[in-house]
Structure 1
Amino acid sequence: MDKDGRKLLSRQQRKAKVNALIAQIAAYPYWEKVLTELGLQKAPQISPNLAELMQQAAQRGKGAGESEEHRKLKMFVKNNPHVISVNRNCRSATEHPLISGDRLDVLFSNKDLLVAVEVKSHVSDEADLMRGLFQCVKYQAVLEAELRSKLAIGEVRTVLVSTRELTPELLRVKNILGVEFIELPRLHE
């Protein structure tokens, strides 16, 4: 896209164009020939348990309440916005309600920016982290829709924060979905 074209498109329109281009690139039928010609090997495929992991994440739904570790991590992020590169002049709230009926663990906001944070502590398993990745995708879409419905202009950012490292499989899903992830050290009292 040229500079003039980018100026005419909204952030969402640019993102949609880039995603369409990525899909076209991924659908190119001759990648194996290209890799062979360049002397490269095909990337390893996602392991067979990915479908099962996604199924487990889908069955989780809403939890039975938050753990103490989750609450501590949520409050740490709220009180330390710099860990996710948010300026202190943003307002912050926990359990912020969305029109979709969801609640954000942490929301930072000012007149030009909304940053939604989903937190997963070290007690979260792989399925819960997978669910967190998809929650971020949903929160991004819902917040952008809320802004549009109010005819407001602003940037929306969603971040998954965890004190657990992503497995290679989850890291690959994170990259495919374009979710921002920040790993923090485990909190100690």
Structure 2
Amino acid sequence: MGQTAETATGFQGDKLYQERARLALPILIRQAKAGQTISYEDLAAELGMPNPRNLNYPLGCIGDELNRLGTKWGKEIPHIQAMVVSKGTSVPGSGFDPFLKNRGKVWTTSEERKAILKTYIAEIANYPYWDDVLSELGLKPAASKIEDIIEAARSFGGGEGPEHKALKEFVRANPQCVGLPVGSAEGSSEVAIPSGDSIDVLFERHDRIVAVEVKPASAPIHDVARGLFQCVKYWAVLQARADFKGDSRQIAVLLALGGEMPTVLVPLRNSLGVAVMERVG
């Protein structure tokens, strides 16, 4: 997946890629402020695009407009398209390379390129004038219609029903359903962590720790939203414990859904950077 720097020009036109560019830029600014990259697939889903490969022109259009605006301001604006990454590598595709090279970035190995990109992504996240960019281009921050859902998630609670128990047991006994290799050891249920919470399922391997919050297909939307925030909390607690113990294993926390991710919660998932597995079991 790449971002085309050469052929996608113009930002205010009525071509489809220009309309998508104007929709995508506020989303990328939301991600930058949250310090979270977003995958090509997740951005395409949020834009209602069936094929993430078609993002190359909208992202190239954004890059071209940031170049123009930087020239007008007399100061470079970091290319926010770098926030869009491959799920496999966690960095942008090779189509972003012309933007890097135009900034004088050079590398000889893929590892050097990845290091440069990670530093550049941090620069994007720390850029203090994204609101000014939106204002200059006549755009509004990415809209959110989930405040009521988030508010409801604060007070939602309830016992564990049979569907939740069954899905939790399925995940515990089938590590491959959450991306672990076939043959991995089964997980543990209701594992207490220092914050006083209990994680639905925890897999401990020699190289990584994978925590899973489980929500059945019958879970109401505000409970799914609550699950996203729980994942953020669990990761922070597990990482703090690992830092204290000197445990260098990679930590991953994900949300396993018996049903599908509610479309209205996709922006929240993306801004929080939570991995979600759908239709599990």
Normalising by structure 2, report the TM-score. 0.53
Q: Which runs of 5+ in 1 are unaligned?
A: 8-13
Give the deviation of 1:151 after TM superposition.
1.1
| Superposed counterparts of 1:21-36, under 5 Å | 21-22=124-125, 24=127, 27-31=130-134, 33=136
SS at match of 1:108: strand
Task: Tell whether the 8 Å contact from 1:91 to 1:110 is kept in structure 2 after alignment.
Answer: no
- 1:125 aligned to 217, 220, 223, which one? 220
| Superposed counterparts of 1:58-73, under 5 Å | 58-60=154-156, 63-73=157-167
The answer to whether residue 143 in structure 2 is matched with residue 45 in structure 1 is: yes
CA distance in structure 2 between the aligned counterparts of 1:90 and 1:126, rounded to whole angstroms: 32
Aligned to 2:170: 76
Residues 1:122 and 1:91: Cα distance change in structure 2 (over 3 Å) = closer
Query: Which amino acid is the alignment partner of residue 172 of structure 1?
Result: P
Aligned to 1:55: 151
Residues 1:103 and 1:171: Cα distance change in structure 2 (over 3 Å) = same
Task: Tell whether the 8 Å contact from 2:173 to 2:186 is kept in structure 1 after alignment.
Answer: no
SS at match of 1:175: helix
Cα RMSD of the aligned pairs, angstroms, is 2.9
Residues 1:134 and 1:72: Cα distance change in structure 2 (over 3 Å) = same
* Count of aligned residue pairs for this structure pair: 170
Provide the identity percentage.
30
Give the deviation of 1:81 after TM superposition.
1.1
Normalising by structure 1, report the TM-score. 0.77
Query: Which amino acid is the alignment partner of residue 56 of structure 1?
Result: A
Task: Tell whether the 8 Å contact from 1:108 to 1:115 is kept in structure 2 after alignment.
Answer: yes
Aligned to 1:173: 268
